[in-house]
Amino acid sequence: MGEPLITLEHVTRTFDVKRQTIKAVDDISLTIPEGEVLCLVGESGCGKTTTGKMIAGLLATSAGRILYRGQDIATMNRADRRRYRLGVQMVHQDPYASLNPVQMIYNIIAAPLQHHGFTRGEAATRERVRELLTTVDLTPPDDYLEKYPHQLSGGQRQRVSVARALTVRPSFIIADEAVSMVDVSIRISLLKMFGRLKDEMGVGVLFITHDLALAKYFAWEGRIGVMYLGRLAEIGPAQQVVAHPQHPYTQVLLSAIPEADPDRTRSKQRIELRSMDVPSLLRLPSGCAFHPRCPAFAGEICEKVVPPLKKAGWGSDVACHLVK
């Protein structure tokens, strides 16, 4: 792994809703080396999308800093800011909403190339657009140049989104639920394409998903971070987090996932929660936010003290008082 590309230092983000304050992301610290694949998983409202948006620079932090190649993105100078803006790209969840419906695929991809001066002249732009379409497996590229987004399937549109993100030669792509709206039969080929970007171009990926099985598949040699109510519960090597989950929340999640194998899914050991109620972000529980539901709840310490994320077994960092 290379140099730290993205560093989060005690990043917090709050939102004001009806004169109340919601803490969507609470004190997250994280380092993402160049070329790494990191999957953030968690349920809706856990702050994974907010974290992604802050890294992309689409949302400011309320507290804490985000560094890109060692420089604070909030205070960087114009030239650095431009480099960061191009270096970190985002692929959104809904391929039906993220492409301009009145532009041909050629224009969608050519616009950033020309605007940022990556290609000069019509011929060079056309050639580069063809190249990018080939990179995302839209072949032969000439079949797609003059199509409009509505003429493509969801999977193909998502590939166009990725090609568009690649126009500015980014070093990091944030993919927020990028395959969840695509048919199951073609998800894997999309993920394989993302994987190739990493292998062949060294592009790092932050993959945000609610599907742990997908996260394990995609991260494989990378890391998985599990978030719960705005905090990182556990982060570690993908294979280890799934095979040896240490935070009780990760364990509950893994035990709850149904699997596409009737033998395994019906014989799976389930861990029951103490309570099914998801706490409101407006009234976060004291201490460890998971304590009212935690099957391993150990009394006062869990109710009073926020567990810090610290080194635990299997190369993971875990935020739980009970994990030594």
CA distance to 94, 105, 137, 140, 157, per residue, from 101 (Å): 13, 9, 21, 22, 11
Choosing from 266, 269, 283, 299, the residue that interacts with other proteins (CB under 8 A) is 266
Contact string (CB under 8 A) for other proteins, positions 110-149, x = contact: ----------------------------------------
What is the enclosing helix (H) or strand (E) of 88?
Answer: strand 88-91
Residue 76, strand partner residues: none
Least distance in angstroms from the C-beta of 122 to other proteins: 31
Helix segments in the chain, DSSP class H: 48-55, 78-87, 105-115, 122-135, 142-145, 154-166, 184-201, 212-219, 238-243, 248-256, 262-267, 300-304
Assess 212 for contact with other proteins (CB under 8 A): yes
Stretch that binds other proteins, among 1-9, 78-86, 90-98, 206-214 (CB under 8 A): 206-214
Assess 261 for contact with other proteins (CB under 8 A): yes
Assess 269 for contact with other proteins (CB under 8 A): no
Stretch 16-45 residues interacting with other proteins (CB under 8 A):
43-44
Rg (CA), the chain: 21
Assess 267 for contact with other proteins (CB under 8 A): no
3 state SS of 25: strand
Choosing from 20, 139, 265, 286, the residue that interacts with other proteins (CB under 8 A) is 265
Q: Are strands 37-41 and 63-68 parallel, antiparallel or unpaired?
A: unpaired
Choosing from 1, 97, 188, 201, the residue that interacts with other proteins (CB under 8 A) is 188
3 state SS of 315: helix
Question: Could you list the residues that contact other proteins (CB under 8 A)?
Answer: 43-44, 153, 155-156, 183-190, 192, 210, 212-214, 216-217, 220, 242, 252-254, 256-266, 270, 273, 276, 278
